[in-house]
Amino acid sequence: MRATRAEIDLGAIAHNVTVLAELAAPAQLCAVVKADGYGHGAIAVSEAALGAGASWLGVALVEEGAVLRKAGIDVPILLLSQPRAADLEAAVRYELRTTVYTREGIEGLASAAERLGVRAVTHLKVDTGMNRVGASPADVVGLVKEIARHPMLELEAVWTHCAVADEPGHPFTDEQLDRFEGVVAELEASGLRPRMLHAANSAATIDRPRARFDLVRTGIAVYGIAPSAALAGKLDLRPAMSLVSEVSMVKRVRAGEGVSYGLTHRFTRDTNVATVPIGYADGVPRRLGSVGGWVLIGGRRRPIVGVVTMDQLMVDCGDDHVVVGDEVVLIGEQGGERVTAEDWAGPLDTIAYEIVCGIGPRVQRHYRGLACPASGGR
């Protein structure tokens, strides 16, 4: 078996969910497990989250919801975007809480429910300013009336999504919540208020109590990563993913020589270079070495040098004694030192979400903590 692996601490997932659920109470908690649980493994994460206080799950695709249902998970699963027309019947069949925000989506969902003879539960999303997806606030009352017109549809909730909640104090979050509450007031005036309201993502759950309503949708925080540097340390969150490999070769390279494609890095002194069998096909960004990426070997920080290749990367170990088989930690802890997904994200001008989601399917997931599923696979 390949030594390169992602170790997923399900105990950390459970801890994070418990902390978030206690913070959000009495609101219910929806653990967002789209993108294969942000790269951590959707089924294992779902089971850990549900055991720790989550009562809902959130996915982006009908296929993602189907995977959970086939695994025997029977809690409410929220489909976070309106699916295309061809997928609405599958959404009903798998009993997903289907988000809608257009008349066409409502009509298609009603037709699918009628064909299957199943009452479909739906959530209406309102676009309060992010301008991605969702109904215009001016259209919400009419769309809710349209849902009510169909006997096979049940409106369970109205919701929205915050665009800048990861920036504490940003006034636009309050603007969005004002617009959302204005929509709710219009619905109440028409006798159409649904049973549930929700607006909070991880950031708003942590920093905006006003946004918690009846349900919070926590994604990145479930995995132990703060939504932004500004929110780091606000809660006791524990990173759940470690990325580990081993040294596959060690070479003594002379001063003046280069390394990897393009020989873009040249050594100023004689040095020991360790090769590690993980590369950009596994999710390590190709330019991580050129922007200051590093790994842990022997409990010490070691710089990645040269271009990360498809299957391998190189590390400058100086004059230290490093041998084939030594453990390499790319994300995680070793010998009191730590590398985080945020440590990758900062120099790459991206976010930790992209780092963990990008760890590819060639990297086996090994689970520990709680009642672990079988090791390996995604």
pLDDT tens-digit map of 36-66:
999 999 999 999 999 999 999 999 999 999 9
Residues 23-52: b if buried by 16+ CB within 10 A, e if exposed: bbeebbbbbbbbbbbbbbbbbbbbbbbbeb
Residues of the chain with CATH 2.40.37.10: 241-339
CATH superfamily of 241-339: Lyase, Ornithine Decarboxylase; Chain A, domain 1 (2.40.37.10)
Confidence of residue 373 (pLDDT cuts 50, 70, 90): low
The residue written with tokens 């699918």 in the block is 112
Confidence of residue 1 (pLDDT cuts 50, 70, 90): confident
Q: What is the pLDDT of residues 244-277, one digit of tens each?
A: 999 999 999 999 999 999 999 999 999 999 999 9
What's the pLDDT score for residue 370? 75
User: Does the pLDDT at position 352 exceed 90?
Assistant: yes
Q: Give the active site residues.
A: 34, 261
What's the pLDDT score for residue 378? 45
- Beta carbons of 255 and 269 less than 8 angstroms apart: yes
What's the pLDDT score for residue 371? 60
- The answer as to CATH 3.20.10.10 being correct for domain 10-222 is no
> Within 10 Å of residue 168's Cβ, how many Cβ atoms?
15
- Beta carbons of 137 and 128 less than 8 angstroms apart: yes
- Beta carbons of 211 and 200 less than 8 angstroms apart: yes
Residues of the chain with CATH 3.20.20.10: 10-222
pTM of the model: 0.95
What's the pLDDT score for residue 372? 54
CA–CA gap between residue 355 and residue 226 (Å, rounded)? 13
